[in-house]
């Protein structure tokens, strides 16, 4: 099964993002994990968290 890619991740460079359970869209973002956590805690949403690397760097797992 092919997953949809999340478009325009570059606009979240160097920020934390919360991705929905289907991993198809960003439901919230913030400059720090604490800000993002508090925002999602108020909404009571389940998510996967991810730190988007700066756009000018390379990433190799």
Residue closest to 25 by CA, chosen among 40, 43, 3, 44: 3
**How far is it, in rounded angstroms, from Cα 4 to Cα 41?**
26
52 class by beta-carbon count within 10 Å (0-12 exposed, 13-18 middle, 19+ buried): middle
**How far is it, in rounded angstroms, from Cα 44 to Cα 56?**
34
Domain locations in the chain as residue ranges: 10-49
Q: What is the pLDDT of residue 7?
A: 75
Q: What is the pLDDT of residue 18?
A: 92
If pLDDT is split at 50, 70 and 90, which confidence band does 33 have? very high
Q: Say yes or no to pLDDT of 61 above 70.
A: no
Residue closest to 30 by CA, chosen among 10, 45, 50: 50
If pLDDT is split at 50, 70 and 90, which confidence band does 17 have? very high
Average pLDDT, the chain: 83
């Amino acid at each position: 099964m092919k997953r949809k890619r999340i478009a325009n991740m570059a606009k979240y460079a160097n920020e934390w993002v919360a991705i929905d359970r289907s991993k198809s869209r960003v439901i919230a973002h913030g400059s720090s994990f604490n800000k993002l956590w508090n925002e999602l805690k108020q909404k009571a949403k389940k998510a996967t968290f991810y730190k988007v690397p700066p756009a000018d760097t390379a990433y190799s797992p």
